[in-house]
Structure formats: structure tokens, C-alpha cells
Structure 1
């Protein structure tokens, strides 16, 4: 593996500097007065945070060559210098690891895929190390330091401690992944739930830009949800906020891998849909692609399995809307490839279960390949780099401490 350059620290690790920097990531370039209006900070606070970031070349001030003389400080726009540093992001699935190398603005410079020979921690860490090694070679060619690595994994993840408490698809419990990955790659590592990582990327650069309250719901192998409230991705006191896949829809429904019955995931996850189609048709369906083909050909039982999944997802979306009142819910995930088979049921179930004005929530579909999930992992690495360590605590835990 190539040597990793990660001794550098962000020059101003304060909440104000973090807020200004992330605002510029999503909305820049902006003048100082515009930054003050968007962040709600005073002009003095903006100036205090911006000056060292410009001096250390993390921010660039665009000065017009023929700027007119003005009274007071010129209103030159400020922007993030994306080429100042690089970050790596890795998304771990049950079958492969996907890695990206991004600049400081989270623009992808390189991407790699690597199959997983096995799902045990040793095999996954070896694959991650090999993948990151290839990305570091790319970084050497660019001559820019890599300052952090983000790893996104499904399941119950404690980001503060870097521990995967439980990942059903990987069959992991209590794995100190951040520590292990840092040892194997030589980089500072941030580990988080994959949907929360994707939500950070959507908040900064995607369908959530400019929104204070929104949610990302992913459908596919599992049913996940990332939640943004008052501009912050919420993890909850225990780090499991947003687990709508394990909200019970039908108490007498199929058994879920979590041990309960009738969870959204036990009805609408890929494995649940395949099991229902096999039971209804007697066909030994190999995977989602074959299941979708059967449903689109109108095979009895196949279409009904997707319709039931759509109803469960619609009720789950209504639960999110009723509890949180988000401005928007973004539906993504590999399961969108079959969305035409259950979109009507999603809409109908949502409309029936959403209470009052919650039904006005903007529901959008946004197909995102796994490279975007890896980009989300890079985004959490950038987030950890620019934020003070105390600011990584889950929101509700901070508010009640």
C-alpha cells in the first residue's frame, strides 16, 4: 500500500467554521454578507472563521481583476478549493466493496469495485485495504494528500466509537471497524450506517440541498431511512434513528431477521419479495432481476408480491411524514429498478395513512448507483475532518447531555 498523507488538521475546528464550510460546499461561491445571511452568523464571526481558511488555502477568494473601488470590505465571493485535499469513501455490500476517491468538494476523481470473497471481517478488511491502496495510487498521481477515509455499512453502526454493533447482511456483531480499517489503511477512518452516509451527500449536494427537514428512504436488500431535522442528520441517542425497515406493519406477518413479525423489511425487502414469489408461483427465483421479469410478464403471485411491498413502503413513508413532517422524502436504492411495479401502491398507501398536511410532503424518486453511496462515505470523512470531535455526537445525545 502507498503511504497515506494524513497528518494535516483542519485549521479552524469550531461549529461556526464547520457551518460556514459546509454552506460553501452546498451553495458557494458566496460573499461574506451572503454567508452571514445563510448561516445566521454575525459578520464578525464569518470574518473570523473565513480568514484562516483562506490563509491555509481551504477557501479561495475570487477577486475580480477590475474590481470597482468600494467603501468598506469588498464583497468578493468565497469558495471551497476542491483540489486542496482528497478523501476516500467505501461502501460495503454483501457481495462487493465500492470505493471512490473525491476532492474536498466530494467530486469523484476515481472509482473502483472489488468483489467480496467472503463476508467475515478479515475478508472485508483485506478487500477494503486493497481497494483503498488502489485509490491512494491514484492520489499519488494527482499529487494531493488523502486526509481521511469513510466506510459505509448497513445496520446498527456507532459512528462515535466506530463500531458496527450489528449488520444483518454481513452477519457482524460488535466489530470495531474504524480502528481495524485505520490500522490496515493508515488513514483516519469514519464509519457510519450507509443510509445516513448517503443522506449526508444528499444534504450537501443532492435532493436535500437547501432543505432543513427531509428524509431519504432506501429500498432494496433492506429498507433504510436517513433523517435530517433542523439541518442535522439525526442518529438518535442510541444511533439507530430512522430504522423504518423494522417498523411493524402487520403483527401477523412474516418473520423478520430482527426477530419480530411483519416489519416493513420482512414484506418489502428483496429477500421477502423473492420468498413470497417462490411460495406463490413454485418457481425457484434466483434473484431480483428474475423476480421483476416474472412480475412484468404478469405471472400470478409475482405482481401481487410487489404490490404488497409497495403498500408496506407507502405506510412506512406515511409514518415518517406523520412523525417528522419533512419537506421532502427521497426514495432511492437498488429496489427502484422495479418501482414501476409498485409505485401506485406506494402512492395510495401513503395518501391513506398520511395525516392531514403531512400528505403534502414532496415524495421524489432518485436512483443512485452504489458509487453515490461510496461518495456518501467520502462525505462523512470530510464531515469528520472539518468538524470538532464534540460535534460528531448524535444530535439527541448532545441535546440531553
Structure 2
């Protein structure tokens, strides 16, 4: 009930009952303690219960400043931190370079960033969400494998909790971003949708029947490791060949663009510039990356059938160089009516990834 008001409010009680399937009496019973605890408020402006007829109803709304949450996105080079309210609206943000990639260094840096962000909100902050790329066991608070940090089997929730004194939720960064979109963005009201990210890696979060899908092993949605050129495709860091990520990640694009251009010092910005200037060999690298992403998205849509797919990530800076190939490969490979699944392009800055970590913390508190 509370999550209905949180994600769709202000909303009247009859609408809550319709969405949740609860009786009117059950809704009233559930609402009362949340109002008394200061999490919900009844607005004074009434609306008619249905189409201008019937008894006036007073919408319920979240008291967004009742509690605040910290969200921290960990990258290989820096930490991005935010403070959000209950509706995941960002109230403060900060960035900090990591002092090193060891577990001890990152945990100390996270604690320092939290200490920097929280003073003015301290009495209403009890929870922090941390998002990390790789294989994350959210219930156990464990980072099982993070290739970009070089971590294996790190009890991150326990370590950050000890360093900050806060309740900690740890989640894969793409899944955390998906939660933010599910509760507060493109996914609100959708029974199923997917969020795919293009950048350092190729990730995907899945929502099915209104729930984030972790899968039996916590790696559901890893479209980056769908083989699209298995035979003679490039080797992926996971040990397989021809994965989407081995062709379309930033590292893969840069490596192949350097070879195509004969320039070992080329970086991603330089590769994009060369492609925009008409370098045919480098443009072909981006085109092949787009085809790989499109095939991976189509495979996911064929298997899961989401209502829509949100495409995001830092790699969208080059989206114009491979959008045509993404959409063409998707359209060619999607089965039947799945071809009509919309691909919604949504550029999101790093602070939105940190907001995703905070959203996971909010979710863990109210819908564990």
C-alpha cells in the first residue's frame, strides 16, 4: 500500500484499493499508522471519488522529507554520492576520487563521502545504498565478482555498515538504476520493462510482474554475455568468445578503433571524433558494436517480453554512431510482435546511478 502512494501519489484511497486489490477497510487500517508516523499526509484539497460524483476523497501523499537516504555509485576511479528524500529526489550530491581499488581503500572512501554528505540530514539518515558493477548478492550484501575493481567475495554491506554506522544495501549498479526507473521513472505503472546500459560494460535490469528479477544466481539480465559472434568473435573478460560486451563495451570499441585507425593512443573521445569526421574504418567499429547491442536486446525481448526497453548509460555519447544498427538488428532479430517493443533512449548522468543506489535503499526499507 505504501509503495503505491510512494510511486504514484498523490492518490485517493479508492484508487489505492483498486491498484493493490485491498479492501477499503484494509487500506484505511494500513494508512493510519503511516500517517501517525509522519510518512504519509492527507491533502486538504478534495477530489470526487469517481467522475465528479460521490463523496469527496482526500488524496494521500508521501511526506518526502520524513527520511533521507544516501546513495553511492562506485566506479573504478571515483565515487558519486547523493542524498535523496523518500521520493528519491536528489537533495545533495558530491564526487570523490577513490584513493585506490583495494577493498579497504574503497570502504574508507565511501565512509568519508558519506560523512561529507550527511551532516545537515544526520538525524533523518539511517540507510545507505551502494551500487557496484559486477555480480552482486543483494540479500547477502556480498560482491561476488567485480571485474573493473578486481574484487571477489567481498562482504561490502558489512564493511560499509561498520565504517558508517548505517544500514547498508548493496546492489549491482544496473539493477539499482532499474529500481530507480521502476519506482520513480519510465517504469512506473509498467508490469514489465527492461533497462539496458551501454558504456564500460553492457548491462540490463529486468522487471517482470512488477518485480526486479535477480534470477537464481543473481545474474539475470546479463545481455552483455549473450554470444552474438561465438565462433571467431573476440575473447570476453568472462572467458567466452563473441559476447556483446566483447564487441560493444567502451574498452572493446577503443581497442578495435585503435587497430582500425593505426593509432595506439586513441581514446573513446578520439574514436568518436574520428567517426564523426568520416573515418570509415572507425565508423565500421561503431556499426558492428551497434549490431551486437541490437542482437542482444532482441534476444532479451524474445525471452522476457518487456513492455518497453529503456536504453541508457555513458556510452550514449556515441549513440548517433550506432543507433541505426541497434534498431536494424533489433528489428531483424525480434520475433513477431516483439518488434514493436519501444526502445526509449534516456541519457542519465552518473548522479542518477547514485540515485539508483539510494532507491534500492528505499526499496529495501519499505518492500524488502
Q: TM-score range by the shorter chain?
A: over 0.9
State the match for 1:116 in structure 2: 98
Which residue of the partner structure matches residue 90 of structure 1? 72
Per-residue CA shift, 1:66-102, capped at 9, x if unaligned? 99xxx99862110110010110000011111000001
Match for residue 43 of structure 1 among 24, 28, 32: 24
Task: Note if contact 1:110-1:138 (Cα within 8 Å) is conserved in structure 2.
Answer: no
Q: 1:157 aligns with which of 106, 121, 136?
A: 136
> Which residue of 235, 238, 253 corresponds with 2:214?
235
2: CA distance, partners of 1:150 / 1:376: 8
Q: TM-score, normalised by structure 1?
A: 0.88
For 2:26 and 2:354, locate their aligned partners in 1 and report how far apart those are by CA, in whole Å: 34
- Secondary structure of the equivalent of 1:240? coil
When residues 45 and 285 of structure 1 are mapped into structure 2, their CA distance, relative to the original with a 3 A threshold, is farther
SS of the residue 2:329 aligns to: helix
- Work out which of the residue numbers 350, 353, 362 in structure 2 matches 1:373: 353
User: What does the per-residue CA deviation read over 1:211-239, in whole Å, with 9 as the maximum and x for residues that have no partner?
Assistant: 11100000000000000001111101111
CA–CA distance in structure 1, aligned partners of residues 238 and 70 of structure 2:
32
Deviations 1:358-378 (A, max 9, x none): 101011100000100100100
Name the structure 1 match of 2:89: 107
Please state if 1:218 is matched with 2:200.
no
Distance (Å, rounded) in 1 between the aligned partners of 2:360 and 2:190: 19
C-alpha separation in 2, matches of 1:129 and 1:148:
13
Q: Secondary structure at 2:280's aligned position in 1?
A: coil
Quick one: which of 247, 250, 275 aligns to 1:267?
Answer: 247
> What SS does the corresponding residue of 2:57 show, helix, strand or coil?
coil
Per-residue deviation, residues 23-60 of structure 1 (Å, max 9, x unmatched)? 11221011110111122222122122111101111101
Q: CA deviation at 1:137?
A: 1.6
Q: How many residues align?
A: 363
Counterpart in 2 of 1:58? 39
Aligned pair partner of 1:133 in 115, 122, 128:
115
Contact 1:281-1:300 at 8 Å conserved across structures: no
**2:270 maps to what in 1?**
290
Uncovered stretches (5+) of structure 1, i.e. residues with no partner: 1-19, 392-401
The answer as to 2:366 corresponding to 1:383 is no
Displacement after TM superposition at 1:171 (Å)? 0.7
State how far apart, in whole Å, the 2-side matches of 1:299 and 1:129 are: 46
Structure 2 unaligned regions, length at least 5: none
Which residue matches 2:58? 76
Tell me which of 324, 333, 358 is aligned to 2:338: 358
TM (normalized to structure 2)? 0.96
SS in 2 for 1:189: strand
- The alignment partner of 1:301 has SS state of helix
User: Residue 194 of structure 2 contacts residue 207 of structure 2 at CA under 8 Å; is this kept in 1?
Assistant: yes
Match of 1:329 among 302, 309, 319: 309
Distance in 2 of aligned mates of 1:193 and 1:46: 34
- Structure 1 vs Structure 2 CA RMSD: 1.7
Candidates 139, 152, 167, aligned match of 1:173 = 152
Is 1:205 matched up with 2:200? no
Q: Which has the higher strand share?
A: 2
- Aligned equivalents of 2:99 and 2:138: distance in 1? 26
Which segment is superposed worse, 41-50 or 92-101? 41-50
- Partner of 1:124: helix, strand, or coil? helix
Give the conservation status (yes or no) of the 8 Å contact 1:211–1:231: yes
**Secondary structure of residue in 2 paired with 1:382:** helix
